[in-house]
Each structure stands twice: as structure tokens, then as C-alpha cells.
Chains A and B, each alone.
Chain A
């Protein structure tokens, strides 16, 4: 059963990770959802698919008032990212969904109306939440052609969507990366196959290297913290991507 873990707190400013669900059906890829909270407002990052909505809703409700949800941040358009949109709107019809402009007319197939979507331009944008100024960081072609990550400069947390994702075996169910070398083996195949552009990868590595990051939180697998963040960026920069094997 999914549970919300507080991974950052500074007064009312909190980050929750709803991560690593060992009891979900094996045919579904495991996903992490994150909630950014400040004061009486919350933003849900990559809320996940329809099948896991009850578990995510329940985990979120255990830690915060779900009526404070002001918006959803969808890093890209995949079903494991945002196919539960209609269900969140069922609960809160006035939710805003921040997503790349590229998907503005595609995501309504999952739910929502014209007023639901706030298009994020290619260079990114600032998303205000309470007193926070969250930054949508471009990550196009990693792996989706319209893709953004979310950086919280105050908490120094980067939500990195599929970048940093690892398909971990059940015996590695920890919330954080404990042994980078052991962990990254489970990320290698995923990044080679899913990240389609070497140029986009280099751009992203340069861009995020300039950010002050304490924690990098991906949509699949464990969370990178401290020196493991830069270790990951260096590893990714050197990795050959866009290949089937090799």
C-alpha cells in the first residue's frame, strides 16, 4: 500500500513522496508521486494512472487536506503520468493542470476542459504556489518531445520525471539511493532506451548542473540525495542514449 513520506519540511513548506508501492499489481510499472505544499496550497507532481488513483488519493489524504490541491504538474503526456486526471477533477473540478503546451490538446482525452490546462512554454515558466516560485525546467526529448521538470529553489529539490528513473527489483525498495553503483545498474537500460537525444541530454545536464540541488526525485525508483545528484548527472552525461542495446 502506498504511503506518503515527508522528504522535506520547513514550517508550512513540505514535500511529500508517495513512493515505492510493493503491493501494486505486477503488470503496472511502479510510480512515484510527489506533493509540494506551502501554506494552504498543494501541487501534485505526476499524479499517476487510473489504476493507482485510490492508493495515491488515500496516501495523500492521510498527510494533507486534498481540498488544498491547487494544481497538478504533468511532466509529460504518458498514461502512468496523468491518465488519472479525470478522477482528480472528479474530486476537485477547478484543479489546474500545468503541462507542456505541446500536450494541451492531447491531455483532454484523459479529462478536463479548456480551462483546466495551463500550457508551459518550451523555455519553462514559474509556477506560483503559496509563497513559492517553482520553476518548470525544460527537459524536452527526455523522453517526451514536450517535457518539463520541476525545481523548487527553496527546498533545493528537482522533480526529474523519467530522468533518474530506475526499475528496481523488489528487494531494493528503499526510498533513497543507498549504493549509487548498485542502483545505477537498474537505471542504465531505461535511460539508453527511453532518452532519445544525446544533444537534449547534454543540454539538460548543463542546465541542471547550474542549479543548487539537494535532492533529485524521479518518477520511478529511488531518490538521489547529496553527492549522488551530481554523480547521476555525470553518469548521465557520459551515457550513450537513444540505442536499443549496447
Chain B
């Protein structure tokens, strides 16, 4: 006999797995950036302290940016948990599709009259529908979480812009504070781009 025909359906799930890999890569990149913001904020706090009264506002904003970086890290950890769960669901779909397709091939070879095959196919279709349902629910949760993170990053953007304004009042430290606030704005823009990519990814193709 020939080995079971190569199946088209699992390749769709394979692309869903590739999508999860892409999502994970974006999450990793955002986590690394959040870590960088945290360090930058710590440096900014020290710089503001050295600048004294002229940089009081800048110091407050640096503290807020540090908190923002910590919140962002937490958000990304929960996103990563979701994608880990989705790997399990996608794998379940791949296995079910493969099993159903091989069973179908066996049924074709055996003829339609074999007892029990209709029930077996019905059970398989039901399990597949359940697994697809779970994956769809995960996809929705992931999208909602990305939107929530986007709102958080908007706040980060506002903080970075305010820091830039405060830097202008930094007296002799103004150029250094301006440089730090520009760096904040750049990394937050980078996070925004990553979140846009994440927002476009779909674990389930319609």
C-alpha cells in the first residue's frame, strides 16, 4: 500500500503554529524592550536626583515610566501564558485532523459498509469542532489582551512626551534629560509597532 497521502488540513494548522511562533517572537522583543525601559527609567531617576529641584517633575515621570515598564512586563507574561496554551490547542487540532484523515483513508479502503465507521467519523468531527472552538476562544482572549496592552502603551507614550517637556526645564541638565526622554519615546514607538504586528496575527484562520 502507499503511505497515507500527505494531508492538506494539517498544513493549515502548521501555519497556525508558525503564527504562534511569530507572536512569541514579538512578545520576547517587547519583554526585552520593557526591561530596557526599566533600566533607562532607573538611570533617569538618578539623573533627575542629580539635577535637583529643576528636574523634580522629570523625576516623578521617570518613576511612572519605571512602573509602566513593570506593568508592561506583567502584561507580556500573561500574553506568553496564552500563547503557550494555544500551542497545546493547535497541536490537538493537528493530531485530530491527522487521525481523522488517516481513519477516512482506512474507511475508503474498506468500503462504506464497515460497522462503526459512521460513529467514529462523527466523534472525530465533534472533537475537532471542540478543539477549534477552544482555539477561537483563546484567539479572542489574546486579541483582547493585546488591545489592553496597546492602551497601556498609549499611556507610556504620554509619559514619554511629558518627560520631554519636563526636560526643557532641567537647567544645565536639560540636554541630558532631553536625550533620555527622546530615548523613551523611541523605545515606546518600537513597542507600539510590535503590538500592531501582534494585533494583526490570528491563531485561527476563518
Binds B, one of A55-63, A115-123, A125-133, A139-147: A55-63
CA distance A25 to B105 in the complex (A): 16
B115 within 8 Å of A by Cβ?
Answer: yes
B116 within 8 Å of A by Cβ?
Answer: yes
How near does chain A come to B165, taking the closest CB pair, in angstroms? 60
CA distance A91 to B124 in the complex (A): 9
Beta-carbon nearest neighbor of A57 in chain B: B106
Partner of B3 from A51, A67, A86 at Cβ < 8 Å: A51
In the complex where A54-B109, A91-B120, A93-B123 touch, is A23 in contact with B103 (Cβ < 8 A)?
A: no
Beta-carbon nearest neighbor of B2 in chain A: A25
In the complex where A53-B102, A54-B105 touch, is A61 in contact with B114 (Cβ < 8 A)?
A: yes
Contacts of A1 in B (CB 8 A): 1
Chain A proximity mask over B146-168: 1 for CB below 8 Å, otherwise 0: 00000000000000000000000
Contact B102 A66 (CB under 8 A): no
A50 within 8 Å of B by Cβ?
Answer: yes
CA distance A53 to B101 in the complex (A): 11
Contacts of B123 in A (CB 8 A): 90, 93
B78 within 8 Å of A by Cβ?
Answer: no
Contact A66 B116 (CB under 8 A): yes
CA distance A207 to B119 in the complex (A): 44
Q: Determine the interface band of chain A, counting residues with CB < 8 A from chain B.
A: 20 to 34
How near does chain A come to B98, taking the closest CB pair, in angstroms? 8
Chain B CB within 10 A, most for which of A55, A62, A87, A90 = A90
Interface residues of A in 7-48 (CB under 8 A from B): 21, 23-25, 28
A52 within 8 Å of B by Cβ?
Answer: yes
How near does chain B come to A35, taking the closest CB pair, in angstroms? 14
A201 within 8 Å of B by Cβ?
Answer: no
Main secondary structure of the interface of A (DSSP, over half): helix
Contact B109 A55 (CB under 8 A): yes
Chain B CB within 10 A, most for which of A23, A53, A65 = A53
A92 within 8 Å of B by Cβ?
Answer: yes
| Count of inter-chain pairs, beta carbons less than 8 A | 66
Contacts of B124 in A (CB 8 A): 90
Residue tally, chain B, CB below 8 Å to A: 23
Contacts of A93 in B (CB 8 A): 123
In the complex where A53-B102, A54-B1 touch, is A91 in contact with B116 (Cβ < 8 A)?
A: yes
Contact A87 B99 (CB under 8 A): yes
Contact A66 B3 (CB under 8 A): no
Contact B115 A90 (CB under 8 A): no
Contacts of B2 in A (CB 8 A): 23, 25
CA distance A138 to B180 in the complex (A): 74
Interface residues of B in 173-198 (CB under 8 A from A): none
Contacts of B114 in A (CB 8 A): 61, 65-66
* 6 A-B pairs closest in CB distance: A58-B109, A57-B106, A54-B106, A67-B116, A55-B1, A61-B110
Which A residues are closer than 8 A to B by beta carbons? 1-2, 21, 23-25, 28, 50-55, 57-58, 61-62, 65-67, 86-87, 90-93
Can you list 29 A-B pairs with a CB-CB distance of less than 8 A? A23-B2, A24-B1, A25-B2, A50-B102, A51-B4, A52-B1, A53-B4, A53-B103, A54-B4, A54-B102, A54-B106, A54-B108, A55-B1, A57-B103, A57-B109, A58-B106, A58-B110, A61-B110, A62-B110, A65-B114, A66-B115, A66-B116, A87-B99, A87-B102, A90-B99, A90-B100, A90-B120, A90-B123, A93-B123
Which B residues are closer than 8 A to A by beta carbons? 1-4, 95, 99-100, 102-103, 105-111, 114-117, 120, 123-124
